[in-house]
Chains A and B, each alone.
Chain A
Amino acid sequence: DQQVKQNSPSLRVQEGRISILNCDYTNSMFDYFLWYKKYPAEGPTFLISISSIKDKNEDGRFTVFLNKSAKHLSLHIVPSQPGDSAVYFCAASLWNTDKLIFGTGTRLQVFP
């Protein structure tokens, strides 16, 4: 059973517009959430995270929103740039553990 779900396998956004990537989870015990970005033939790299005690975390063009009641988080990229084209994974962990549960990923394509 997939505990972390990314229901959109792909997303196309025009350069300069906002990209919104969504992630849903089922385990209410998750208390830390992360987004990773992956380019082809490379390992994933950390992008941004959020603790369950917060509902928003911002880092430059990237903002993550957490809605605990809906068990939903989203990543906003504003403005989107062609270099943002990659696969984005959301991940979640339980309190006081190091194990991450990943979603299936969303491929973002930013076109000119």
Chain B
Amino acid sequence: NAGVTQTPKFQVLKTGQSMTLQCAQDMNHEYMSWYRQDPGMGLRLIHYSVGAGITDQGEVPNGYNVSRSTTEDFPLRLLSAAPSQTSVYFCASSGGFGSGRTDTQYFGPGTRLTVL
């Protein structure tokens, strides 16, 4: 049981380049989400999904796209990277708080992205 996996661990982009951050979980969780962590800002929700085919915006969605074609995978796409997107990105999954509030979110190890 690998839990939540993220690739790559590190990435350097030039302004305007595009890339996809990969996230996968093997716990059959319905809920998946992407956060970014910036100094002094804590963790901020970018996008989330409550199941395959369903996605919605979080607090800071601009500049990012997501899709959820399978339960296991939830990739995050940067279409045209900007220096403001330099951050550490975390993917998380959970069985869903609708399930009696006994579940919690499990986080991946993170992707450190630098945009020059």
The residues of A with any CB-CB pair to B shorter than 8 Å are 4, 6, 9, 32, 34, 36, 41-46, 49, 51, 89, 91, 93, 96-105
Contacts and interface: CB of A to CB of B under 8 A. Distances in A.
Given A46-B106, A89-B42, A100-B45, 15 more contacts: A34-B104, A41-B110, A43-B92, A43-B109, A43-B110, A45-B107, A46-B104, A91-B43, A93-B97, A98-B50, A98-B97, A99-B58, A100-B105, A102-B43, A105-B42
B68 interface: no
Contacts of A34: 104
B74 interface: no
Contacts of B42: 4, 6, 89, 102-105
Given A42-B109, A99-B48, A49 B104 contact: yes
B81 interface: no
Contacts of A89: 42-43
Interface of B: 4, 31, 33, 35, 40-45, 48, 50, 58-59, 90, 92, 94, 96-98, 101, 104-110
Contacts of B94: 98
Contacts of A102: 35, 42-44
A2 B3 CA distance: 30
A17 B48 CA distance: 39
Contacts of B59: 101
Contact of A41 (B4, B97, B106, B109): B109
